[in-house]
Copies of this chain bind each other. A is one copy, B any other.
Amino acid sequence: MIKNILLGLLNYFPMTGYDMKQMIDESTAHFWHAHHSQIYTSLREMEKDGWVVSQFIKNEGQPDRRVYTITPEGQKILKEWLAKPMTGLPPIKDEFIVRVFFSAHRDKEEILSELFIQRQLHQQHLAEYGQLDMHIRQKIQIDHRGLLQDARFWKATLDMGKRYEQAYLDWISELIEMVES
């Protein structure tokens, strides 16, 4: 999966693993995240498989950069992945909900403090999404006007992020009421 994301990003324009890590953190992190270690090792494997090529750029003064470029083979893999529709629901793994499921015999104050923390985190996250919106728009208008079509879909995923956070927030607020009573 992470390899598809890396191919998708490189299909926009050539960049380094570091750049991709940043883009993932800024844009896809609310539905898919990755550590830099996984990104670097995946890119190496992808190069071995001929999906990407890299050139090592030695910068005087600045740190060296390995810039990756997608190959026609890589574009084929990306297209094939997108052409094969998902037939099932994406699986969910949410530790917090598991904790709630087993919370019946916990200390009331203990549960509440955890619920307050989570509610605050979701509130923060939701607030950040509003700013991200602008951020993406600015970036593509300055850097890559060809990505305006893509931006509509990026915005759509951000919209899902907002809906998700709002639903979570509402739920936690109701849960707090339930536990308090």
Interface size for chain A: under 10, 10 to 19, 20 to 34, or 35 or more residues?
35 or more
Main secondary structure of the interface of A (DSSP, over half): helix
Instruction: Across the interface, name the chain B residue whose C-beta is closest to A89.
Output: B121
Residues A154 and B117 in contact in the complex (CB < 8 Å), given A1-B95, A83-B110: no
> What chain B residues lie within 8 Å of A121 (beta carbons)?
88-89
Question: Can you list 24 contacts pairing A with B, beta carbon distance less than 8 Å?
Answer: A1-B93, A4-B102, A5-B98, A8-B98, A28-B98, A31-B97, A32-B98, A33-B93, A82-B103, A85-B113, A85-B117, A86-B96, A86-B99, A90-B95, A90-B97, A100-B160, A104-B150, A156-B171, A156-B175, A163-B167, A163-B170, A163-B171, A164-B164, A167-B167
